Structure 1
Amino acid sequence: MALFEKAPAKINLSLDVLSKRNDGYHNVEMVMTTIDLADRIELYTLKENRIEISLESRYVPSDERNLAYKAAALFKSHYGIRSGVRINIYKSIPVSAGLGGGSADAAAVLRGLNRLWSLNIRTRELADLADALGSDVPFCVHGGTAVARGRGERIEKLPSPPPCWVVLAKPDIGVSTRTIFQRVRLDKLYHPDSSAIIEALYERDFAKLSTNLGNSLEAITSALHPEVSHIKGKMLQNGASAVLMSGSGPTVYGLVQQESKAQRIYNSMRGFCEEVYLVRLIG
């Protein structure tokens, strides 16, 4: 039996680091939404009790280090599944980009295995299970638009953003989330107004949303990788309504309401950066 699952990327409308936790992680408040850039996951049942991963990417492991593999192993162990599964991953989301690609794949595997083995597990329960896999995975299980608090496990669903285009530009570098968080100094951080973002979503106010986008980690990543600031400046210069780094970076995105302007920004960024995408919000 074969089953297919879409794994959409996410962008952060806000990312605020609040405090250090006793477990070594940080308490965060992140408003996130999914975009129309997605990996494709194929799941096939195996008679043998094993997990196989297949993908074509020199940057992503295809063994037990892969987050999708870990998701399948966790699911099988938690629900006592003795069947095996083969997971084919077709990557479209850039790797180590701040767009949650690995988390999206892991979440898609959890949703897909639930359907593949007809367990009818509720989304909330899958998201609780996903907490063991990483901070972004519970949100990716839900998808849509939400604020994630705690370590990322406390999810509150939010209204979709006002319709607009998203121009994504990723410089030719990878960023380690762990490395960026190791450089966090809470007394020196910028803190975005996440409550204003949430209000803008409920009011469907694009101008208010654009004005209040913010990311506590952007200055840290930009100091290590000036390309982030260069891309941000280029997008603003070309007329994006709002520009922000997503996650721990290095991908920068711009929000644009007019398709023609979005296309112009996309074309200008292609001459400035290799990995550029023009997508819609689907959250």
Structure 2
Amino acid sequence: MSDKIELKAYGKINLGLDVIRKRPDGYHDLDMIMQTVNVYDDIIITKTEKNGEIKVTTDKEVLSNEKGNLAYMAARMLFDEFGINDGIEIRINKRIPIAGGMAGGSADCAATLKGINEMFKLNLDEKALMERGVKLGADVPYCIMGGTAIARGIGEILTPLPAPPKCHVIIAKPPVSVSTAYVYGHIKPDSIEKRPDIEKMADAIRNKDLYALSKLLYNVMEDVTVPEYPVISQIKDIMINGGALNSIMSGSGPTVFGLFDNIEKAEKVMENLTQNNLTEQLYLTEFIN
């Protein structure tokens, strides 16, 4: 049994996001394509001498280090279920934008479930981890699985897809934070006029057609978030004018991503965004499968 485990908790972007309807339970039925990107938090799980204690520390003051943290909740769930009496510390070093539409908290939760499973030899397979993860958050099962997938229901009904064609991805988080609850509270599924064609997007991915895929990128949540935060449109415009094949917001925002088939164009856009001081986090990265 290892006394220390280090994991990468990868963030995601939504290549397409549609909100179908509001359900009687208050959640929304979604139709999405999720994609893992090479922007990740470090999760370091270390055994301690304090029996039964689960301690979470982070390098970001805005994050809860207490029982409200999803990584804590993941560890607590497995400790209680399997009667684990050891003490652990979970250290989270953040790179995924916080409250940015990239499932950072869910990614940390998923990595913690995997790490505890490995550290204490619980022998849970991926399906068993996903069944537990969905109790903590709708994006957690996807973050456990990773890669490319159609996500339906509240995000927990997953259909894996092959890896999309390779490209360069810019991820830009403006210096604003968006409340997911606010966006869901203000979106009106019956009034949405334009929607992404998720099946066509899936076909473009299967056909390895980056250009067809890029044309189809769309996120209906922009209808709510962009009017509140015009900086999102400014970032999208710089990306598209700089040669991005397309650029949209991820999740409920405000993080924006752009797909590029040319590294020089992508690097020039990175310079432009930096000079215009529109972002607090900026990455030039790629898809991970």
Whether the TM-score (by the shorter chain) exceeds 0.5 is yes
Structure 2 matches for 1:23-34, cutoff 5 A? 23-34=25-36
What's 1:279 paired with? Answer: 285
SS in 1 for 2:74: helix
The two structures have a TM-score, normalised by structure 1, of 0.97
Residue 204 of structure 1 deviates from its aligned partner by 0.5
Superimposed CA distance per residue, residues 208-238 of structure 1 (whole angstroms, 9 cap, x where no aligned partner): 1001111110121001111111111111111
Say whether residues 1:96 and 2:102 are aligned partners. no
Match 1:202 to one of 206, 209, 217: 206
Residue 169 of structure 1 deviates from its aligned partner by 1.1
> Counterparts of 1:46 and 1:154 in 2: how far apart (Å)?
37
Structure 2 matches for 1:143-154, cutoff 5 A? 143-154=146-157
SS in 2 for 1:157: strand
> Counterparts of 1:133 and 1:224 in 2: how far apart (Å)?
29
1:236 and 1:242 in contact (8 A); partners too: yes
Structure 2 matches for 1:123-272, cutoff 5 A? 123-189=126-192, 190-272=194-276
> Counterparts of 2:111 and 2:143 in 1: how far apart (Å)?
8
Residue 120 of structure 1 deviates from its aligned partner by 1.7
Structure 2: segments with no counterpart, 5+ residues: none
> Counterparts of 1:80 and 1:236 in 2: how far apart (Å)?
53
Residue 255 of structure 1 deviates from its aligned partner by 0.2
SS in 1 for 2:121: coil
Aligned pairs, number: 283
The two structures have a TM-score, normalised by structure 2, of 0.95
Residue 82 of structure 1 deviates from its aligned partner by 2.7
Range with greater deviation from structure 2 (186-195 or 102-111): 186-195
What's 1:111 paired with? Answer: 114
2:6 and 2:45 in contact (8 A); partners too: yes
Range with greater deviation from structure 2 (160-169 or 70-79): 70-79
State the superposition RMSD in angstroms.
1.1
Say whether residues 1:56 and 2:59 are aligned partners. yes
> Counterparts of 2:77 and 2:275 in 1: how far apart (Å)?
43
1:167 and 1:254 in contact (8 A); partners too: yes
Residue 85 of structure 1 deviates from its aligned partner by 1.8
1:146 and 1:156 in contact (8 A); partners too: yes
Match 1:2 to one of 4, 24, 44: 4
SS in 2 for 1:36: strand
Superimposed CA distance per residue, residues 25-48 of structure 1 (whole angstroms, 9 cap, x where no aligned partner): 011111111111100000012341
SS in 1 for 2:66: coil
Identity of aligned residues (%): 39
Say whether residues 1:35 and 2:60 are aligned partners. no
Structure 1: segments with no counterpart, 5+ residues: none
1:27 and 1:150 in contact (8 A); partners too: yes
Residue 271 of structure 1 deviates from its aligned partner by 1.6
Match 1:72 to one of 66, 72, 75: 75
Amino acid paired to 1:87: I
